[in-house]
Amino acid sequence: MPQPVDARVLGLTVAGGAVGVLARGLILAPVTDPTAAPWVTLAINGVGSLLLGVIVGWLDDRHPLARAFLGTGVMGGFTTYSAFAVATALWATTPGLALVLAAASLVAGVAGAVAGLFIGRRIADVPGEIEPIEDAE
């Protein structure tokens, strides 16, 4: 049976999402060259993945409200899979470039998240390894 949603967590997530969307909008607003926007989105998603990794590694399960606000909210609003997907699809006329953008986005996201987890765990002074799925509870 699904757990009821905690109104505090929901409110903090929504507020954090608004902050993240605003930050992304402020970065993208001055970009007037349509060919530059996908690359700026790539950078936003890479940096956002790094920061999300730091947040998750640092806060872990110790501070669920802060993690909801900063992680799910702010970083969820800051990064954007849909803009990446649309930018890639719009470049279908140049499939090579679309493929490079898609691959770079995936690599930047995963590499940023891994580096962020490492950094966050060092900040929290919890240097453990990533828990194998079969050992997770």
- Is 35 annotated in some ligand binding site? no
Tokens found for residue 44 = 């936003």
DSSP string, 36-57: THHHHHHHHHHHHHHHHHHHHH
How far apart (Å, rounded) are the C-alpha atoms in residues 129 and 110?
16
HSE on the CB side for 122, CA within 13 Å?
6
- Is 72 annotated in some ligand binding site? no
Binding site members: 76, 79
Binding site members for Na(+): 76, 79
